[in-house]
Chain A
C-alpha cells in the first residue's frame, strides 16, 4: 500500500529532528567549558582563598555546597518551566527536557546534602541537625525522587510526560511553601542557627570562587542534559523516518529491527 508523504499536520515531529544534531554539536563545548571553569573554581577555592580564621579549612566545602544547592533549586524551577511549556504548547521536546534535567537536579541536591553533612560534623558536632536549609533541601530531594519515580513508573510515554509535568508544577508551587514552613518550624524549635552560607564573612575571592563554580555547574548541567536528551529523542521518535535513517547511519543493518514503520 502506498502512503502519501507526511503532511504538515505532523509538524511537531520536525522540532526534535532539528534539535537532535544541534544537541550533539553543542554538548562537547559546554562540557569543555564546564571542565575549565571547575578547575578554575576549585583552584580559587582551595588554593587562592585564605583559610578562615574561625572554621579553618572546613569552610572550603562551601565552594561545592553553595553552587550545588543553588543548582538544585534552579533546576527544579526550570523543570517546572519546561513542564508548563509542554502542557500549554503541546511540544514533546519540553517534556523530554524536564525529564532529562531531573536526575541532574537530584544529583546536585544530594551533593548539597552530603557536603552540608560533612561541614556539619566539625562545626555542629553532628552530621545532621534539622537546620532549615538542609531540611528544605531534603524535601526537595524527595520531590525529585517523586518526579523521577512517577515518570519511570508510567509505561505510556505520553501519559508519563504529562503526569510528570503536573507533579513538577504542583511541586514548584509547593517549594516556597515548604521552604517557608520549614523556616518557621525551625525558628520555633530553636534549631541550629548557624548556616553553611552565613558562616564565613564573604570575601571577594570567596564570592568569585563560588560564582565560577556556579557557572561551571550551569555548563555541566547543560552539557549533561544535551547528551541525555539525544537518546531520549531517538527512543520517542523511533516511528519516524529520520530516526530510522539516523540509526542506519550509526549501525547499518541493525536499525530496521528497532525502528521504522511496519
Chain B
C-alpha cells in the first residue's frame, strides 16, 4: 500500500539519510525510531509529500504521490509537531475548520463528540490561547476520531504532553484503526500500550 523506495533526504547541505526503503501494508503500525536529529520528522514530511525527496520515490497504491497528490491527500491524515490551532478561535471552531479544510464533510455534533471524548468538554468555547500544551495537543488529536475514512495516519510525536490515561486511550484508538485495515506511521519516544507491538523502522541505520 504505502511503499518507500531508495529515499534520500537533504537538510540544508547535510544528507540526513539515503537509500531508505520500507513497505507498510494495510493493518500495519510502524514506529519510526532513532536518536534526535536523525531525520524522523523529515521522513514523515517526505512520506506526506510536504517535503520533496533528494532522491527516491514514495508510492501510494503503486502510484507516485507526486503524480497523484490530491488523491493521496484525500486518504492521508498528518498531524505534525505544531497542532495547527489558531489562538483566536475556539477548539470547536479550529476542529471544524481543520475537517472542512481537509475536505471532510463533518457536522458540528460529531466535532463536539470528538472533543468531549478526548476530554475537552469544558473548553469547547474558550479561545485556544488559554489552553495548556496538553489541551492544545488534544484538540489536534481529536481529528483522529473523525478520520476513520482516511486509511493512512502519519503522526509526529502524538503522545507528547499527554497524561497516562490519554496515552492509553490514544494507543487503543490507533490499534483499532489498524485492526480495521488502516495504517499508522508514527514517531514517539515513549512506550505506549498498543494491542500488538508495532514494527520498528530505525532511521539511524540509513544515516550518512
Contacts and interface: CB of A to CB of B under 8 A. Distances in A.
Taking residues whose C-beta sits less than 8 angstroms from the other chain, chain B's interface range is 10 to 19
A257 interface: no
Given A7-B6, A9-B56, A12-B55, A261 B208 contact: yes
A262 B19 contact: no
Interface stretch (B9-17, B40-48, B78-86, B162-170): B9-17
Contacts, number: 25
A228 interface: no
B12 A262 contact: no
A4 B6 CA distance: 12
Interface in A1-36: 4, 7, 9-10, 12
A10 B8 contact: yes
B13 A9 contact: no
B208 A262 contact: yes
Interface string A141-158: 000000000000001111
A44 B185 CA distance: 72
Number of chain A interface residues as a range: 10 to 19
A230 interface: no
A222 to B, nearest CB: 28
A249 interface: no
Contact of A10 (B13, B55, B208): B55
A242 to B, nearest CB: 15
A238 B208 CA distance: 14
Interface in B6-48: 6, 8, 10, 12-15, 19
A121 interface: no
A239 interface: yes
A7 B14 contact: no
A175 B19 CA distance: 43
Contacts of B55: 9-10, 12
Contacts of A9: 6, 8, 55-56
B107 to A, nearest CB: 39
B14 A239 contact: yes
Nearest to B18: A10
A9 to B, nearest CB: 5
Contact of A157 (B13, B15, B56, B208): B13
A157 B13 CA distance: 8
A156 B19 contact: no
A7 B12 contact: no
A7 B56 CA distance: 10
Interface string B171-208: 00000000000000000000000000000000000001
7 contacts: A7-B6, A7-B19, A9-B8, A10-B8, A158-B52, A238-B13, A262-B208
Given A7-B6, A262-B208, 13 more contacts: A7-B19, A9-B8, A9-B55, A9-B56, A12-B55, A155-B12, A156-B12, A157-B12, A157-B13, A158-B10, A236-B13, A239-B14, A261-B15
